[in-house]
Chains A and B, each alone.
Chain A
């Protein structure tokens, strides 16, 4: 698998290969978030937390059970999906929009848990993970992710998700059981975050709970929003620009968050649909903030 990497290393600075690998990992995670936020319209502020479930899950399974890498990766993805159901189901069952808060809380709780567990190495972090990730593996998985999402979006399932984003009450009147679909989309999006996390663990060979904090979740949200909510090419573009720009422009990491914040404000003003998207971020935020209990405050007629 790593023959391609060795080959490329003769021509490209290994540092850039590393950057390309991280880009691929973020692409997979961001595409997962694209399904949740861009397609289904559910704001998640804890996507990195689901990455961490996959990262620690895959790494620990690899370290303790010594299973093949791809199995560990898949297991990490499935654990993240399970966590998605665990967080998504109760918070989306409540009328109104509690997912944002729940995901934020989940991320913080998980960080503290990983920080204190013996098995995850506590605050020291988890070291000694074998390096199994290669450029080829990552980009094969990026292509598979795009392929899977493209198929999902162009189906009855995907149309139902968009309908929920656009008008949940109308969607329910078309026979769509919105809770199931929202939890489904959330679990699938979290699955991809988990896969990305597993790749990350086996690339950096060291995990620290701080790697998956709110800053990273916000970063992923920026990737999806910049390119344009609801668009796969938009998500790829947004992620690529925001991952490579700091490398090219040599931003120091302290300024990154500031830059993202600024960029978000500029986008909201001048290009609320993102670079390629069809969905208005402002409208989504307003809807989420404005949503109240079903049946008492949303007359449908």
Chain B
């Protein structure tokens, strides 16, 4: 068994009377492409939000590389090596594509106000490294030719890829992708699948939420199914597809 990178134990998230996530246990092993699926409103994005510190868990523990991170702020968690994209794209819309990616480099750089004003020798070198790293990931996601466009002028699929670039540029240990292919056409999906495999091969562990079953089943090594905030099962794509509880969760939702 490989090392457990992220470990959720008994994680519960409540919004007033609504329990979005209920006593969730979940392990993400290093080096995997891991998926979380479930019907609409199952609590998938809430899991991402609680792992990245946007919400605090009502109860439970979240350990990343052995250290407790539940209740830390998003900026602390980013520094520890977790990067993410958002289901409802959250780009810096009025900024150029390149600047969007440079912001993602924040945890890997240091310069502050005084550095910006007085530009000591290290400043230029750091800016150059930031630019180089940003151009490299833009090339990786196929957006290098769009680097000077404003983010809001990109197509939907391009915006999703820009979010991935912005997350990748921080050299994360764990990459969370919330519905990365939503709104993409088949060609874009195929390309993105290749890209995600490529990212995993670079040593980044990928944890994704996705509704596109064909995509998830083809890509992931291990899948956890969530329904009404509760874990139904975890297993390989074949195991999950054969599980009657999973079929019921999806069918029950679609019919009702």
Contact = CB atoms under 8 A, between A and B. Distances in A.
B106 A230 contact: no
A159 B99 contact: yes
A156 B105 CA distance: 9
Contacts of A280: 94
Contact of B75 (A176, A279, A296, A298): A176
A206 interface: no
B231 interface: no
Interface string A143-175: 000001001101111111011001101111111
B92 A163 contact: yes
Interface residues of A, number: 37
B46 interface: yes
B121 to A, nearest CB: 15
A296 B15 contact: yes
Nearest to B48: A301
A24 to B, nearest CB: 21
Interface string A38-80: 0000000000000000000000000000000000000000000
Nearest to B112: A157
A295 B55 contact: yes
B88 interface: yes
Nearest to A152: B116
Given A167-B90, A169-B74, A295-B55, A175 B112 contact: no
A142 B224 CA distance: 60
Interface in A166-197: 166-167, 169-178, 184, 188
A278 interface: yes
Interface string B165-178: 01000100000001
A170 B92 contact: yes
A300 interface: yes
B192 to A, nearest CB: 18
A174 B78 CA distance: 6
A95 to B, nearest CB: 12
B113 interface: yes
A301 B49 contact: yes
A163 B151 CA distance: 12
B102 interface: yes
B75 A295 contact: no
**Ordered nearest first, which 10 A-B pairs have the shortest CB separation?**
A301-B45, A155-B116, A175-B78, A175-B107, A166-B92, A170-B90, A172-B74, A175-B106, A301-B87, A163-B103
Interface of B: 15, 44-46, 48-49, 52-56, 73-75, 77-79, 83-84, 86-88, 90-95, 99, 102-107, 109-113, 115-117, 119, 123, 126-127, 130, 150, 166, 170, 178
18 contacts: A148-B117, A151-B117, A155-B116, A156-B106, A156-B110, A156-B111, A166-B92, A166-B94, A167-B93, A173-B52, A173-B54, A174-B104, A175-B79, A295-B54, A299-B49, A301-B45, A301-B86, A301-B178
Given A170-B92, A301-B44, 6 more contacts: A156-B110, A157-B115, A159-B95, A163-B103, A174-B75, A295-B56
